[in-house]
Amino acid sequence: MHKYIIMGAQGCGKGTQAELLVEAFDLVHISVGDIFRWHISNRTKLGARVRRAVKDGELVPDETVEEIVRRRLEEHDWNYGFVLDGFPRNRPQAEFFLESYDADAVINIEVPADVVLRRLLSRRLCSQCGLDYNLIYHRPVNAGVCDVCGGELIQRADDTEKAIHARLTDFYEKTRPILDLFREKRLMIDVDGTQPQDVVHAAIRQQLEEPRRSGVDN
C-alpha cells in the first residue's frame, strides 16, 4: 500500500508528479481541487456552495473540505493506495487527517515564489481534453489550440492575478507551516521542483525507496 500526500505551492507541478506516481504504482489520484471543479461545472449543490471561493482563489471552509476527503477515501476504490493532492492546506485540516488516517510519505515540491507565479500566469489547459500546457515550457504547436484534440486552450478561472495572489498568500501563511508537523513525524520528502519533470519524479522515487523510510511509524 502506498499512501502519499503531495504538497507545494500552486504551480509547483504537484498534479503532474501525482499523475506520474499514479502510473508508477497504480494509485488513485485524489485532487480536492478537481473534485470541486467537477461539482462546479456539473452545477451540483456543493458546486454552488464552493464556486465563489474557488473562483477567488480562497480556501473553502474546513468542514466542507474534510467531508469531501472523508467521503472520497471511504469509497475504498484505491486497492494499491492513493496520492492526495491539495489537502491538507492548513493546520486544522492536517490535524483532521492525522487523527483519522495515515500516510507513508508527504512529498514536498519546492519551487521559489517568483517561478510559481510565472508558471501560473502562463498556464493554459485544453477546454476539451483537459491537457495542461505552459506558454513558457510546453507551448502548443499552433497558438491557442490543443496539439492532441484541437480544442481551444483556456486559462483556469482561478489563474487570474488576483486569485493567484490569494492562493499563494494562503500557501505561505497557512499551508507551508504544516510541513513542520509532518517533518516531526519523519514523513517528509523534499524535492527541488525547478528541475525537469522526469528528474523530479526520479528524485521522489529514489527517496521513497530509501531504506531509512521503512518502519517509520506514524
Q: Which residues pair with 109 in a beta bridge?
A: 191
**SS3 assignment, position 196:** coil
E strand or H helix at 140: none
In the chain, which residue ranges form alpha helices assigned H by DSSP?
A: 14-25, 32-41, 45-56, 62-74, 91-100, 113-121, 161-170, 179-184, 197-209
| Minimum separation from the CB atom of position 34 to ligand AMP (A) | 7
Among 28, 29, 58, 128, binds ligand AMP (CB under 6 A): 58
* Residue 90 backbone class (left: φ over 0; alpha: ψ -120 to 50; beta: rest): beta
Mask for 86-125, x = binds ligand AMP (CB under 6 A): xx-x---x--------------------------------
- Taking the complex as a whole, the smallest distance from the CB of residue 210 to ligand AMP amounts, in Å, to 28
When binding is defined by CB under 6 A, the residue of 21, 32, 83, 189 that contacts ligand AMP is 32
Q: Considering the candidates 3, 119, 123, 124, report the single residue annotated as catalytic.
A: 123
C-alpha cell at 44: 451540483
- From the candidates 3, 51, 72, 89, give the one annotated as an active-site residue: 89
> Is residue 40 within 8 Å of 157, Cβ to Cβ?
no
Whether 162 is catalytic = no
Among 12, 65, 105, 178, binds ligand AMP (CB under 6 A): 65
Q: Nine-digit cell at 119?
A: 508558471
Which positions touch ligand AMP (CB under 6 A)?
10, 32-33, 36, 53-54, 57-60, 65, 86-87, 89, 93, 158, 167
Which residues are known to be catalytic?
A: 14, 89, 123, 156, 167
